[in-house]
Amino acid sequence: MEDEVVIASSSLEAGIGCWDLRSGAEHLRYRSCASPPHGLVSVAGRFLASSQLRDSSSSSGSVLFWSWNKPQVEVKSFPAEAINPLACNTDGTYIVGGGVSGHIYLWEVATGRLLKKWHGHYRPVTCLVFSNDQSLLISGSEDGTVRVWSLLMIFDEEGQQRAGHLYEYSFTGHALPVTDIVTGYGGSNAIILSASLDRTCKVWSLARGTLLRNIVFPSIIDAVALDPGEHVFYAGGRDGKIYIAELNAQTTSNNNNNNNNYGLHIIGTLSDQSKAICSLGFALDGFQLVVGSEDGMVRVWDTKTRNIIRVFKHAKGPVNNIVVMRQPAALYPRTAGNNNNNNNQGPMARRHVALPPPLEKYSSIDEHSELNAFITPRSNSYDVTSYTTLQSMNNQINELQQHGSSGASEMELERLKLDCKRSMQMVQQWKKMYQNLNQFCVGELLNGEADETNLML
């Protein structure tokens, strides 16, 4: 079993708690954090990032970075407005933030540059999540809409003019603010699951752009988690119950009537009479469900036996963010140095991990300059992609060549060269696919002509 950690934060000044999922041992407690819901992310396992919104009525906020082996904030950013949710792609190349104005911001992590800002919603953004292939960004808002954005389209001005809008889909089924969003597997063919204050969870099809299912709950749902097998999902209610709902049950003709399908597809609950459920997350095994509650506790449920197997005490206030991930190499328990001599803690325990610069408040990129973007497949996996920009890549290469060959610059240059190599590999794959398709079509054509000749004879 792989070592995993549970990371939790609260909207109050309770810091960030971090525990070993298997042993229950607490790692470092990260200080000075008051994060809004969905405002805590691990950036590719390299460091933690969290938006801060200490006053909901304030128009300003910050985004903070922590390294794994230090409890203090190391990097502070001050965006143009208060940021609610944060999301990052799998490689940790980009961070996306949703503003209280409805704008969405996309930053490049390595440089802190603000690459793009666009108007996403008419009310504050509440949720942001990437599709599993990293090509799409899904956002939810207080205006009740769920919108799907292509990372290519947001840089394609000609495509935007042809389409008349920036988003791929705009789902408007919710009557009240969206509280949570999760996506399934399958990239552009995946499903989207959204929850709302209107006490419903809706299942959307990315392939069709339509609503597949509407499920009404007895309580407001603030958090959802999708079973890895995508047979059921878990919905955390403000009544303290975690509802289990089916995704693949047969739909009846009454499903469009909320009065008739009340509770339809709900097949069970997990409950220990705790306070409102604020956040949910699955462990890598797909069976342990980690639950953050309003009472400041983090509970781990075994979804097979439907029993609580572990409890973590965070602090006062609601646990509104849960992140479950593999234990980073740089993260060590506080007692690691007591097991051996202090001089034998290992290189990672003593090495200072350099964090990226602060995120830009305003874009330094010329709006009239040409900005190209593409999706490149990762060499170690055919179903995970990474997003980058050609202009950013070329600019960084030039800067690194001008500023010498420090260790960090060399690492960054190697990463950029690898991105170029991946893009060339993708071109070769396309050429090979085209050749195979051409040979197949020619073969079919020749076989068809041969059959016709035989029939004539």
Which of 384, 422, 368, 409 shows the shortest CA–CA distance to 111?
409
Distance, CA of 209 to CA of 171 (rounded, Å): 8
**pLDDT (mean) for 308-319:** 89
Residue numbers of the domain that contains 67: 4-350
Same domain membership, residue 438 and residue 321: no
pLDDT in tens, 128-185: 999 998 999 999 999 999 999 998 888 877 777 777 778 899 999 999 999 999 999 9
Instruction: Indicate the number of domains in the chain.
Output: 2
**pLDDT (mean) for 107-127:** 95
What residues are paired with 49 via a beta bridge? 41, 65
Same domain membership, residue 410 and residue 265: no
Of the residues 350, 375, 409, which one is the last residue of a structural domain? 350
Whether 206 maps to a domain, the answer reads yes
Whether 389 maps to a domain, the answer reads no
* Contact status, residue 105 vs residue 68, Cβ threshold 8 Å: no
Distance, CA of 318 to CA of 26 (rounded, Å): 19
User: Side chain identity at 114, as an amino acid letter?
Assistant: L
**pLDDT (mean) for 197-205:** 96
Of the residues 330, 350, 370, which one is the last residue of a structural domain? 350
Same domain membership, residue 188 and residue 91: yes
Please tell me which residue, 428 or 407, carries the higher pLDDT value.
Answer: 428
**pLDDT (mean) for 108-114:** 95
Q: Are strands 241-246 and 232-237 parallel, antiparallel or unpaired?
A: antiparallel
Lowest-confidence region among 115-124, 162-171, 388-397: 388-397
* Contact status, residue 212 vs residue 205, Cβ threshold 8 Å: yes
Element (H, E) at 440: helix 407-456
**Residue showing tokens 């009740």:** 144
Residues 6+ apart with CB under 8 A from 93: 44, 108, 109, 110, 386, 387, 388
**pLDDT (mean) for 216-240:** 94
Look at residue 419 and tell me whether its pLDDT is greater than 50.
yes
DSSP 86: E
CA 375 to chain centroid, in Å, comes to 17
* Contact status, residue 19 vs residue 41, Cβ threshold 8 Å: no
The distance in angstroms from the start CA to the end CA of the chain is 68
Alpha-carbon distances, residue 189 vs 42, 135, 347 (angstroms):
26, 12, 43
Same domain membership, residue 87 and residue 23: yes
pTM for the whole thing?
A: 0.76
Please tell me which residue, 332 or 267, carries the higher pLDDT value.
Answer: 267
**pLDDT (mean) for 24-51:** 91
pLDDT band of residue 342 (cuts 50, 70, 90) is very low
Whether 247 maps to a domain, the answer reads yes
Element (H, E) at 407: helix 407-456
Whether 411 maps to a domain, the answer reads yes
pLDDT band of residue 75 (cuts 50, 70, 90) is very high
Please tell me which residue, 446 or 33, carries the higher pLDDT value.
Answer: 33
433 phi and psi, to 5 degrees? Answer: -65, -40
Note the maximum CA span of the chain.
Answer: 91
Which of 191, 169, 168, 173 shows the shortest CA–CA distance to 181?
191
